Amino acid sequence: MTISLSPDPVGPDPVGPDPVGPVPRRDDAEDFAIWPASARSAADGDATVGGVSLAEAADRFGTPVYLLDEDEVRERCRTYRAAFPDADIVYAAKAFLSRAVAHWVREEGLGLDVCSAGELGLAVATGFPPERIVMHGNAKSPDDLRAAVRLGVGRIVVDSASEIARLAAIVPPDSRQQIMVRVVPGIAAGGHTAVRTGTDDQKFGLSIADGSAQHAVARILGQPRLELVGIHCHIGSQIATVKPYVAAVRRMVGLLARVRDQHGVELPQLDIGGGHAIAYRPGERPLPVGILAGRVRAELEDGCARARLPVPRLTLEPGRAVIGPAGVAVYRVLAVKRTGERTFVAVDGGMSDNPRPALYGVRYTPRLIGRRSAAAPGLVTVVGRHCEAGDVLADGVPLPGDVRPGDLLAVPAAGAYHLSMASGYNLVGRPPVIAVAQGRARVLIRRESLDDMSRRDIGL
């Protein structure tokens, strides 16, 4: 049976003064409600993030350019650590990973969740302790698994029955690899059907309903080189209410009790994944991490007490909620076209650096920066430069009626699933990532050049 919990059928969870991340303290808090807490407006129509002028950054580094507020990332890590002091907080690298980000989250006491040998290799090369890394993936390659075992990854999350035998053959005879089983709890939650991963009709995990999860547990317990330490679930992404997580914990505790009853084993760990929502537009609210912590902790303790189980150590895997609100993308307007009743504002980026609107229909709130405008706002469609009609960054958004080529547009909440999903479409090249903090800007990832892309093309 599948429980559908998004949207919340009985109203939203209470939202208090404890959102994910720092609360802005500024005079223009309403205008910058979904921006990094350091964002400020300037007298000339510019905006600053981390004390750095966005217009000056665009001139210095070119456009498109992505700015990442280091202090915002660190503060969001601390918010999770404070809300869940007795849990493992594991940053989901798929949201966005670079050497600097791996360094920041390590310094703030978080672990790391990786999905490939590439993400794993980058993290370990920065000095990230492999024992604090969790490896995921519904179809891990042999190279992925070999790298995880060789480098000493803390936990590997098994996502299919075939991985069990493969792992058992890879692990050296004199060692044991800690394993978790990814379970499908039968809960539908998430901001879009493409990111709902808690039901049986998608590619991730092993089902409780058909017995696949229980069968995997039994097989792992029979492998002397594999140490089953817990169960895992991830129910979806951009989830704005607490209730789906509470329901998932209830079902996972039920499975822990069944494992105990059937095998005499009390598993010490429970991973409930991530997927915590952030605000992309004014008026949207993020998943309140303080309320999440209280409700999840209460359900876990009560459920374990009823089942006469010891309370397992909890793991959470926030990615978007840590990095998403810390990023701002800046584009330059290349053309303004009025067709019928619509106005199209074309910028110098698009689906090659942000495919999310094309994939999920995500809506953003771009802002004119770099100059003041007294023109009345009108609704426009902000589009990218790529050869697809679906290359739309923002549809039906208000911009000043005199927006023109050469203007700069800034898009907040751009830190997650933009550059991590970026492509080489039209050989445009991926934008640079610039860290900003305390008035200083430094390059984390340089702009991808035509020479970078040409080096891979070796045939003629």
Q: Which residues are designated catalytic?
A: 387
Tokens 């150590």 belong to: 313
Return phi, psi of residue 383, to 5°: -120, 160
69 closest CA partner among 439, 438, 436: 436
Q: How far is CA 108 from CA 80, 86, 90, 101, 126, in A?
A: 10, 15, 11, 11, 15
Distances (CA, A) of 101 to 71, 320, 437, 438: 11, 13, 14, 17
Compute the CA torsion angle 230, 137, 135, 19 (nearest 10 deg): -80
Amino acid symbol at 260? R
Length of the chain: 460
* Residue 380 in tokens: 């426009």
